[in-house]
Each structure stands twice: as C-alpha cells, then as structure tokens.
Amino acid sequence: DEEHSLGVLETYKKLIKIMRLPAMKKFSLFLLTMSIGFSACDAISWLKLVRAGLDREKFAMATTITIPVKLLLLLFFSKRMTGEKSMDIFMKIYPFRLAFNLVVPVFVWATPKMLTGHDVPLYFYGLLIFVYGCPQMASYFMTANRVAFSARKSDPALGSTYMTLMTTLKNLSTDCVNSLVLLLVDPLTFSQCSTDAENTCCDSKQVKECAGECVAYVDGYYVLIGVCTVVGLIWLKWAIPTIRELQKKDPKEWKVSSERQQK
C-alpha cells in the first residue's frame, strides 16, 4: 500500500502534486466556491429567528425531527446518489437549494408577526420544520453526492489523502464565507431612531441616546441574501459544464501515483 509506506514529508509532497493536477485545480475551485450562494441563508437566518423571539431550545427540538427523515431518504436513494454520475444529481438539487434563499427570508420576516404571544402556535412549528428541513435535506444529499464523486476520483493508492484534501477545501470555504457574511451584515444594515431622524443608531452611544426604537430601513441580511443568490446563479452557469467535464475525465488524470509505480 503506497499510502501506508509514505512518511510525513513524502505525503505533503504528494499532496502538492495532487493539487497541481489540472483536474484537481478545477475541482478545488468548485469546492471553494460552491457554498457562496447559500452562505447568508445558512449563517444568518437562524440567528434572526432567535432574535425575533424563537427560543433556541424550541428551535433545536423542532429541527431534530428532520434527522431521521434525512437518514431514511439517504438509504432509499443511496444507489442513485453514489453512481458514476453522482454530481449530475448534485447539480439538479442545487437550484432547489438556492430557491430557498427566497423562501427562508420571507419566513424570517413573518416570524415576529406569528410569535405575538408567549405560546408558539402549532402551525409555526410545521412551517419551521418545512423551511429548515428542506434546505438541510438538500444539503445532506449534495454532500453525499460530492463525497461519492470524490471517492470515485481519488487515487486508490492515496485515497485518504485525496479525501482529506477535498473535505478540508469544502470546510474551509464554508467557514470563511459564513464568517464573511456575519461580518458584513451589520455594516450593511442602516437604521434610524423612531423619535430622532438625525440619530442613525450607528454605534452603541447613539443607540442609548435614542428615546424610541432603532428601526432598520435597510437590513443587511436581506441585502446579503440577494447578493448571494445572484452569485449562486452565476456560479451555477459556470459549474454545470465544469462538473460535466470533470466527470468525463479519464481516471488517470486524477492520479499522481503512476510515476512512482513505473520506477
């Protein structure tokens, strides 16, 4: 087993060679950019719900219902999702996932109107499970498709190195993009004091000076949702032909171990 015989230094050398492969360069770019379209929705929406008055405990209780559903659906569709063209299914799910960038903000906007009393209405939980569960299940299936594709394209002699690299790139992308949108949401939010038009509530001092309420007339959350959705649509136009090209590539174009095997 080539992978087991490599030392730490040799493994990193192989990793660099893997990253230099033309196929891996394209797939790395795919992994680093695939989360941008969903970042604002994933990172901010549920914080907005908590701010609107939804208890974290009730939110957690409602959303755990989706876990067994995801597992059952994954078992049912596992053969189709892990086939030779698993990324075709990924690209079909992506627009559905992106469409919830329009559904979730409407639910977030309506939440304060639905949570008017101390008790959360039963229909709200049904809407919450639907609005939260559908994007989560879509993401779950997309992950299964992506992992199946990564496993198929990995060099068997260096399988775990390939999988670690691909997973790291995906996690790095998600963490960085989500952190960025969280940093941008406040600077892109513009508020005004309800009792003083000159008070823009731009810092803690002005917030304290406001005798009324700081009302946001431009919410950075909705701005970022719009920007991310547009970016997601542009990304989709690039990603579809790119992933088709990568699926058609010869397995040899994904390997670096052949040089060592020839010696």
Domain boundaries, the chain: 2-181+224-262
Give the largest Cα separation in the chain, rounded.
80
Q: How many CA atoms lie within 13 A of 259 on its CB side?
A: 7
Q: Going by C-beta distance under 8 Å and a sequence separation of 6 or more, which residues neighbour residue 181?
A: 39, 40, 43, 44, 224, 228
> And the tokens for 227?
């920007």
Question: Which of 9-13, 76-80, 226-230 tops mean pLDDT?
Answer: 226-230
> And the tokens for 36?
């941008």
Cβ atoms of 21 and 161 within 8 Å: the answer is no
User: CA 66, CA 132: separation in Å to the nearest integer?
Assistant: 9
pLDDT mean over 18-37: 93
Hey, which residues does 215 pair with through a beta bridge? Answer: 192
Q: Going by C-beta distance under 8 Å and a sequence separation of 6 or more, which residues neighbour residue 34?
A: 170, 173, 235, 239
pTM of the model: 0.85
Q: Going by C-beta distance under 8 Å and a sequence separation of 6 or more, which residues neighbour residue 156?
A: none
Range scoring the smallest mean pLDDT among 70-79, 90-99, 108-117, 142-151: 70-79
56-94 tens-digit pLDDT:
888 888 778 888 887 887 777 776 666 677 899 899 999
pLDDT at 118 over 80: no
168-213 tens-digit pLDDT:
999 999 999 999 999 999 899 888 887 777 778 777 778 777 877 8
Q: Which helix (H) or strand (E) holds 82?
A: none
